[in-house]
Amino acid sequence: MSLMTDSPVHSSSSDDFAAFLDAELDSKSSDSSPNEEGAKNEFDSDSSDSSLNEEAENDSDSKSKRIKGSRVETLENVEDPKESTSNITHRIKRSRVEAWENIEDPKGSMSNGSLEQNLVASSSKETCLHPGSFGDMCILCGQKLNLETGVTFGYIHKGLRLGNDEIMRLRKTDMKNLLRHKKLYLVLDLDHTLLNSTQLMHMTSEEEYLKSQIDSLQDVSNGSLFMLDFMHMMTKLRPFVRTFLKEASQMFEMYIYTMGDRAYALEMAKLLDPRREYFNARVISRDDGTQRNQKGLDIVLGQESAVLILDDTETELVDNLDGRDVREVLKTVRKDVLKGCKIVFSRVFPTQFQADNHHLWKTAEQLGATCFRELDPSVTHVVSQEAGTEKSRWALKNNKFLVHPRWIEAANYLWQRQPEENFRVNQPKN
Q: Give backbone dihedrals phi and psi of 48, rounded to 5 degrees, phi first.
A: -75, -15
Residue 6 lies in a domain: no
Average pLDDT over residues 256-281: 95
How many angstroms separate the CA atoms of 119 and 282, rounded? 35
Tell me the pLDDT of the chain averaged across its residues.
76
Whether 352 is in a domain gets the answer yes
Residue 313: its pLDDT value, please?
79
Could you give the CA distance from residue 191 to residue 198 in angstroms, rounded to a whole number?
A: 10
As a whole number, mean pLDDT of residues 36-44 equals 39
Question: Are 272 and 353 found together in one domain?
Answer: no
Residue with more model confidence, 109 or 135: 135
Judgement on whether residues 194 and 139 belong to the same structural domain of the protein: no
166 with 272, same domain: the answer is no
- Residue 424 per-residue DSSP state: B
The Cα angle at residue 255 between residues 250 and 261, in degrees rounded to 5 = 150
Whether the predicted pLDDT of 107 surpasses 50: no
pLDDT value at residue 35: 41
- pLDDT for res 105: 40
- 104, part of any domain: no
Percentage of residues of the chain with pLDDT beyond 90: 48
State the pLDDT at residue 300: 92
Closest by CA position to 3, among listed 309, 300, 308: 300
Of residues 69 and 154, the one with the higher pLDDT is 154
- Mean pLDDT computed over 245-267: 95
- Residue 235 in domain: yes
Residues 383 and 416 reside in one and the same domain? yes
Pair 148, 227 in one domain: no
* Residue 378: predicted pLDDT: 94
CATH code for the domain of 230: 3.40.50.1000
Spatial CA neighbour of 268 closest among 302, 233, 315, 313: 233
Rounded to whole angstroms, the Cα distance separating 302 from 156 reads 14
Strand order in the sheet with 225-228: 195-199, 233-237, 225-228
Q: Are residues 229 and 275 in the same domain?
A: yes
Q: Which of 285, 313, 341 is the last residue of a domain?
A: 313
Domain that holds residue 219: 183-313
**pLDDT-wise least confident of 316-330, 342-356, 408-422:** 316-330
Q: What pLDDT shows up at residue 427?
A: 75
pLDDT tens for each residue of 145-167: 887 788 999 998 888 999 999 99
Sign of CA dihedral 243, 235, 311, 279: negative
Q: Are residues 275 and 370 in the same domain?
A: no
Between 389 and 14, name the one with better pLDDT. 389
pLDDT in tens, 388-405: 999 999 999 999 999 999
User: pLDDT class for 428, splitting at 50, 70, 90?
Assistant: low
- Are 166 and 204 members of one domain? no
Query: What integer is the mean pLDDT of 35-43?
Result: 39
Q: Is the pLDDT of residue 42 over 50?
A: no
Higher pLDDT residue, 91 or 392?
392
Whether 21 is covered by a domain: the verdict is no
- pLDDT confidence tier of residue 58, bands split at 50, 70 and 90: low
Instruction: Please give the pLDDT value at position 87.
Output: 56
pLDDT at 326: 80
Split at pLDDT 50, 70, 90, the class of 37 is very low
Q: How many of the other CB atoms lie within 10 Å of CB of 86?
A: 24
Last residue of a domain, one of 244, 279, 313: 313
pLDDT at 179: 87
User: Over 50: is that where the pLDDT of 334 sits?
Assistant: yes
Tell me what pLDDT residue 273 has.
Answer: 96
> The CATH number of the domain where 416 resides is what?
3.40.50.10190
The predicted model gives 60-72 an average pLDDT of: 47
Q: What is the pLDDT of residue 7?
A: 36
Question: Is residue 206 domain-shared with residue 301, that is, in the same domain?
Answer: yes
Say whether pLDDT at 119 is over 80: no
What is the C-alpha to C-alpha distance for residues 63 and 108, in angstroms, rounded to an integer?
Answer: 9
Residue 144: inside a domain: yes
Q: Is the pLDDT of residue 305 over 90?
A: no
- Going through 288-334 in order, the beta strands assigned E by DSSP cover 307-310
Domain shared by 205 and 293, yes or no: yes
Judge whether 369 lies within some domain.
yes
**Which pLDDT band, with edges at 50, 70 and 90, does 351 fall under?**
confident
Q: Which of 115, 145, 173 is the last residue of a domain?
A: 173
Domain count, the chain: 3
User: Would you place residue 124 in the very low, low, confident or very high pLDDT band (cuts 50, 70, 90)?
Assistant: very low
Return the higher-pLDDT residue of 215 and 78. 215
- In terms of phi and psi (left: phi > 0; alpha: psi -120 to 50; beta: otherwise), the region of 138 is beta
Residues 160 and 201 occupy one common structural domain = no
Which of the four pLDDT bands, split at 50, 70 and 90, describes residue 430? Answer: low
Helix axes 112-124, 50-77, angle to 10 degrees: 50
Any domain includes 223: yes
Do 301 and 337 have their domain in common? Answer: no
β-sheet bridge partners, residue 309: 187
Q: Is the pLDDT of residue 29 over 80?
A: no
Q: pLDDT (tens digit, 9 = 90+) per residue, 217-235? A: 999 998 999 999 999 999 9
Q: Band of the pLDDT at 86, cuts 50, 70, 90?
A: low
**How large a percentage of the chain has pLDDT more than 70?**
68
Residue 108 has pLDDT above 60, yes or no: no
**The predicted structure's pLDDT at residue 286:** 92
